[in-house]
Structure 1
Amino acid sequence: IDMELAAAGEKVFKKCKSCHQVGEKAKNRSGPVLNGVVGAAAGSVEGFKYSKALRDAAQDGLIWSEAELTAFLAKPKAYLKGTKMSFAGLRKEADQAAVIEYLKTFE
């Protein structure tokens, strides 16, 4: 883990905090807890009610690899038609990479 990049990602993650939590006491909000999301099967957070679109993608075997997360974070609604995630996306590739690096610190 690149801690410098992760520190930059912590700042970018402030845009995500209204819907998502990470860390030891994280709880599902309008978005699921993101602990361990990098490399995880999509739709696998206990107790979170996912959109049909995400449930279908999960059933088709979607894994949140860094490449898949990057594409999703860039334009969620274009990546996954029907997603509940209302966030417009992170346009800057550097921001996408930083947030993913930050998320990797929460296994």
Structure 2
Amino acid sequence: MRAIAFIAAMSVTAFTAHPSQAQDAAAGEKVFVKCKVCHIADEDKNKIGPSLHGVIGRTAGTHPDFTYSQAMIDAGKSGVKWDEPTLTTYLHDPKAMVKGTKMAFAGLKNDQDVANVIAYLKQFSQ
């Protein structure tokens, strides 16, 4: 139950702490190069990490045929759904949001990079 409250608080904090940024999908594609080692967004295909095709609106830890960490499965069961505020929090510091995630990436520190990656992902989530 505390995990749900923490994740909800982090989502609200991300939404209020990071004012709406102008989003640029083309710039996001360039930043996404860092993610391409493990993820693909323009196809529904898993790599080392799960496919990010259609990720906006997806419940955490639920993409078919991917073996998630128990922490990510539990995050999904607690109600984590990938939307802009949740992705903003996660992309800044994945391990802080989902303690025990298998994702080794340290996160994106630049707010504009995060906003742009989300814009890039939106193209494949409609």
Task: Please provide the CA RMSD for this pair.
Answer: 1.1
Structure 1 vs Structure 2: percent identity of aligned residues? 54
Cα offset, 1:30, TM superposition:
1.3
Cα offset, 1:65, TM superposition:
1.1
Q: AA paired with 2:102?
A: K
* Structure 1 residues 93-104: aligned runs within 5 Å: 93-104=111-122
Cα offset, 1:51, TM superposition:
0.4
* Structure 1 residues 15-94: aligned runs within 5 Å: 15-24=34-43, 26-94=44-112
Q: Please, which runs of 5 or more residues in structure 1 have no aligned partner?
A: none
Counterpart CA distance in 1 for 2:57 and 2:65 is 19
Counterpart CA distance in 2 for 1:16 and 1:95 is 12
Q: Any conservation in 2 of the 1:39–1:66 contact (CA below 8 Å)?
A: no
Q: Any conservation in 2 of the 1:20–1:32 contact (CA below 8 Å)?
A: yes
TM-score, length of structure 2 as denominator length: 0.78
In the alignment, structure 1 residue 12 sits paired with structure 2 residue 12: no
Counterpart CA distance in 1 for 2:60 and 2:95 is 16
Counterpart CA distance in 1 for 2:85 and 2:65 is 26
Q: Any conservation in 2 of the 1:51–1:84 contact (CA below 8 Å)?
A: yes
Once the two structures are superposed, residues 22-75 of structure 1 have per-residue CA deviations (whole angstroms, 9 ceiling, x without a partner) of 223x42111100011112111221100000000001111111110000000001
Q: AA paired with 2:34?
A: K
Query: Which secondary structure does the structure 1 equivalent of 2:67 belong to?
Result: coil
Q: Any conservation in 1 of the 2:39–2:50 contact (CA below 8 Å)?
A: yes
TM-score, length of structure 1 as denominator length: 0.91
Q: Any conservation in 1 of the 2:108–2:114 contact (CA below 8 Å)?
A: yes
Q: AA paired with 2:74?
A: D
